Structure formats: structure tokens, C-alpha cells
């Protein structure tokens, strides 16, 4: 499948499995008449495969060493992209940014193979509303000396993330218009 066919198949899955209508409160605290349950895609074998393949296609020509983002939305996506990248001959490390550092063990904020100063990283997320959670994770990764070269999400809810994350190469795979909702 080419990138367009991958995206078409992924969009179809999102519409079938992840889009729910009703009254919801989002992580940002905002109220919404629909909800995008990204985990219905990123924890589904076909959805996760398609998400990983689309993101790898989006990274073609981008200098990147590692992929990851805030737990829980980025966890399966980062693992899929890392796994699929190993098959392409250019393996990418995966990482996860915790909401807060552990109080025991290594007490790390960022888990996975160590982010090195100068690493070029891509931040990932399933659904983004304002971009606040990803921005905090970006700050945690930058504190380790990494450079965020791109930020990719499965779906942008079109509520400010583009402005918040513009300086970090923000590229949603889909937005609300693509899903036919607003």
C-alpha cells in the first residue's frame, strides 16, 4: 500500500472504531459532543500497524533518532514506529514521558533507551486538543538535551494545538474535517 492507501484505511478504522457521539469532558477540561478514543485504534492490531506505517512514511527524509511522547497515548504508537523502523534498516529508539517522575527506582521522567544530548526526536500522541500535554512532554525531553524535530498525532481536535506546537513541526495525520465532525 502507498501512503494514501494507508491513510484511507486508517481513516476508515477511526470512523468505525474510535469516533463516539455523546457528552464528554476532554483531558483539557473542555466539553465535547463527540469523543475520539484513540486507544481503539492504537491498541487494535490493524490500526496500530497502519498508524506506524503512516508515521514512518511521514518521517521519510527527516533526521530522527527516537520517537515517543506522553504516556498513555504515545506508548503503543512509539512501540509500533520503533518496531516497524527496525524492518526498514533504520531503527528508531522509542521512549515514554511520564506524567511525573517515579519516586522509586531510577526516578526517571523519560523511560526507554536513554535520550542523548543532540538526539533528534519526534513526539507522538494519539489525539491532541490544545497541545498542552505534548508541550510539557517536549519540555521534559528537551531538558535531556534532545531536539524535537517533528510532532505527529493521529487526530487533531482543532482546538489550539497547531499554534501551541507550531515550533515543533506539528503534523497531524487527520483533523476533524477529515473525520467529518466539528
CA distance 142 to 150: 13
Interaxial angle between packed helices 45-58 and 3-13, expressed in degrees from 0 to 180 and rounded to the nearest 10: 140
The CA–CA distances, whole Å, from 74 to 48, 60, 104, 127 equal 11, 20, 23, 9
Residue 97: domain span: 3-179
Backbone angles phi, psi at 124, to 5 degrees: -125, 155
Confidence of residue 107 (pLDDT cuts 50, 70, 90): confident
pLDDT category at 105 given cuts 50, 70, 90 is confident
CATH assignment at residue 141: 3.40.50.2020
pLDDT digits (tens, 9 = 90+) for 50-82: 999 999 999 999 999 999 999 999 999 999 999
> Model's pTM, two decimal places?
0.95
136 DSSP 8-state letter = H
Cα of 180 vs its chain's centroid, Å: 21
> Using CA atoms, how far apart are residues 1 and 119, in angstroms rounded to an integer?
31
Q: What is the pLDDT of residue 49?
A: 98
90 contacts: CB under 8 Å, gap ≥ 6: none
Say what the pLDDT of residue 182 is.
73
pLDDT of 103 above 90: no
Q: In which residue are the cell numbers 455523546 written?
A: 22
The closest of 26, 22, 30, 55 to 153, measured between CA atoms, is: 55
| Burial environment of residue 34 by CB neighbours within 10 A (0 to 12, 13 to 18, 19 or more) | middle
Three-state DSSP class for 15? helix
| Domains held by the chain: number | 1
Is beta strand 147-156 parallel, antiparallel or unpaired with respect to 170-175?
Answer: parallel
Of 106, 9, 114, give the one whose Cα is nearest residue 52. 9
User: CA Rg, the chain, in Å?
Assistant: 16
Amino acid at each position: 500500500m502507498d501512503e494514501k492507501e494507508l491513510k484511507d484505511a486508517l481513516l476508515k478504522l477511526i470512523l468505525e472504531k474510535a469516533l463516539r457521539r455523546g457528552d464528554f469532558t476532554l483531558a483539557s477540561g473542555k466539553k465535547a459532543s463527540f469523543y475520539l478514543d484513540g486507544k481503539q485504534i492504537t491498541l487494535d492490531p490493524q490500526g496500530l500497524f497502519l498508524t506506524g506505517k503512516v508515521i514512518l512514511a511521514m518521517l521519510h527524509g527527516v533526521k530522527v533518532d527516537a520517537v515517543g511522547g506522553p504516556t498513555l497515548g504515545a506508548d503503543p504508537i512509539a512501540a509500533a514506529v520503533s518496531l516497524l523502523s527496525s524492518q526498514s534498516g533504520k531503527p528508531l529508539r522509542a521512549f515514554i514521558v511520564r506524567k511525573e517522575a517515579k519516586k522509586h527506582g531510577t526516578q526517571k521522567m523519560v523511560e526507554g533507551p536513554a535520550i542523548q544530548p543532540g538526539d533528534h526526536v519526534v513526539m507522538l500522541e494519539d489525539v491532541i486538543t490544545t497541545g498542552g500535554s505534548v508541550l510539557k512532554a517536549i519540555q521534559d525531553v528537551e531538558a535531556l538535551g534532545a531536539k524535537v524535530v517533528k510532532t505527529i498525532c493521529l487526530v487533531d481536535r482543532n482546538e489550539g494545538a497547531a499554534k501551541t506546537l507550531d515550533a515543533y513541526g506539528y503534523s497531524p495525520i487527520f483533523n476533524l474535517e477529515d473525520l467529518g465532525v466539528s
